[in-house]
Structure 1
Amino acid sequence: MNDRTCPYRMDLSGRDIHAEADLLRKRGPATRVELPDGVTVWVVTDYELVKRLLTDPRVSKDTYRHWPAWENGEGELARSWPLAIWVADQSMITAYGAEHTRLRKLVAKAFTARRTAALRPRIEAITAGLLDTIAAGAPGRTVDLREEFAYPLPTQVISELLGIPHGMRERFLQLVHGIFDTQASAEQARANEEALYALLHELVAVKRVTPEDDLISSLIAVRDEDDGAGLTERELVDTILLMFTAGHETTVNLLDHAVHALLRHPAQLEAVRTGEGAATWSDVIEETLRLEAPLANLPMRYAVEDIVLDDVTIPRGDAMIIGFGAAGRDPAHHGDSADLFDITRPTRRDHLAFGHGVHHCLGAPLARLEAEIALSALFARFPDLALADPAAQLPPLESFISNGHRELPVVLDAAPGA
């Protein structure tokens, strides 16, 4: 089974993303895998190749134009494939060429350096409020830090930025989380998708009636004032979905993994606290992004024409998954210690966790800002924070796409005599 053209069946449960990435890497920089319903695609795991393909004009994210198997959204895959929602949306993340430029411009103004920096006071206030709530709990209790801190912080930030009404947030979150359940059946995935889009259209209807100073209202204004010339209704709802999903899932996983890594490497945590060796929270964030890409595998990209590699060719029209998790641990770029957490690593910033090229994530500066504020405040407030069970293997999310833990149990104070 070393022939990379003989498909490897992808583990949709995500039970060991990094072990699978290592196996795939050994099959070659790009290798074929099988997804649900016998759909075969290429997975790219080599850091240098991933970086090259992310800027290659022969690679597209437009499913409708460049994946013949999709049949322009009118075939069986669109009707019944469990992962259809990952390729069916029509927003800047799936657009190609001029279409991508048009859609990205509509959103870019919300994520300028100035606007991101202006969010700092609000992020600090949300962070302080969450830490107050945690501190007010019963002394000595075990806290699920993912549920009580890593999850609500970015969720509230992006909800406020977009302008999602409080009464809709919990349901919206539940349905978005359903997208990342890559073990869901076709029926479950379809039901979740239909409910999600119904809610999105309801959200747009509400914001049309009661617009506010938020991003959704701004996008609706662009759509309505231009008679739809600049933005279709489908592009509008898909852009909202993209910004909400990307705006919280990646940051939740980043915070989750950063805290877990620091608690397992106390010397490195101490170095950041004391500034020893000029170690900073930024170093922690970048090394975490390298070691634990928040989105381990991201469907899909497509070959616009034949792409000839060293000893294989990705044929025109074939689909590709970018293995961001695998690229972050590629020993060819990061050395033999690529699987280890090391905030002094020279290549810690050489990761592609937020993408690269024209599809580089617009919200990356916001995610970094949230993580810096959250981590510094957390460890300042709870200097004796510790894992509830340092020897435990934390259960992963049931997803081969989203890379995080289902829970992160910690205790706020060290045990007596510790």
Structure 2
Amino acid sequence: MSVKKIEKTYEEINAKIKAGEAVVVTAEEMVDIVQKDGPEGAARKVDVVTTGTFAPMCSSGMFFNFGQMVPTIKASKIWFNKVPAYGGLAAVDSYIGATEPAEDDPLNKIYPGAFSYGGGHVIEDLLKGKKLLLEAKAYGTDCYAAKKMKKEIGLEDLPYALLCNPRNGYQNYNCAINLSDKPVNTYMGMLKPNGRNANYCSAGELSPLLNDPFYKTIGVGTRIFLGGGYGYVTWQGSQHNPYAPRGENGVPVKPAGTIMVHGDLKQMSAKWLRGVAIRGYGCSLAVGLGIPIPVLNSEMARYTGVSDADLYTQVVDYGYDYTNGIARSYGQVSYKDLKSGEIVVNGQQVKTASLSSVVKAREIAEILKNNIKSGKFLLNRPAETLPDGINDRM
């Protein structure tokens, strides 16, 4: 007798969450369940799989409104702790990017091109409850006569603060090495000459988009863990590339999908949004992000059951190839090997290090798991899933 295949709906899973009956596991736990029970068995057993990642995500920032003054002002140039913010919005609306450096950064005065403080640090300091110096200049109009503003301001003083990140949660990324004979400083960290170290940036089997390779449950309106609070997927992120080559399990083996996300900054925490200074590159923001994936059927169980041994990326030279637009791979490596601390490139043993914290990714997945199990977090069906490279959209 044939066994009917399992098919669940968002409504059924949310009803189980509300009743305290949902089975929720992390992506790490799902690996063992799928290996033991198979995709169909795992789909019958598990309702939601939680994921997590914590890493520098340069394409991040904050929309904010800093309140009016008397006489009123239409700011055209804005600084937050000497970090320039964008003034081409409405009168007292602005956007500050995570990678924008402070104009008077003392480190840059000693080492040109090096920065210790930027937009990401402004966001972290606001979340820490600090008062920061806000400065604005304007050209003056009849309805907005003021030409200058200067005041100390904290997060509680901002009428509006929205974390809005155009590109987060990269679905896979390069493993970076340097095959030149000089050390290079990159956004992937410092790379020693002659391929003596390799840096990567992914939580592997915990990484959100690696657990839903064709974006079947992720899209506009997907509710997520973001920066210690809750946020939403807004749309595909910049550089979203669903056409990247994929392995036999459907998971991309090169940088592929991305998501744009947003959430109320006032609900977030400095623990999960940390300003970052990367030597020789500049500033960024380390973002904590987690996505719950509903196990609607055996297909989603199989996708969420991928292990680090199943996930691969490419070794790319940042000493010459990357800066010169050369797309060349020096080998394909698994995240199991990367996380072991050593890989082989060109027959040479190379030590590895991650810019992404697996410890914090694991903690995010656990937080999300517990919030769902306790009924504090329900799943949203996306209004439209992300472009997947298969189904063309008009």
Q: Same fold, TM exceeding 0.5?
A: no
More strand by share: 2
TM-score by length of 2: 0.26
More helix by share: 1
TM-score by length of 1: 0.25
Larger radius of gyration: 2
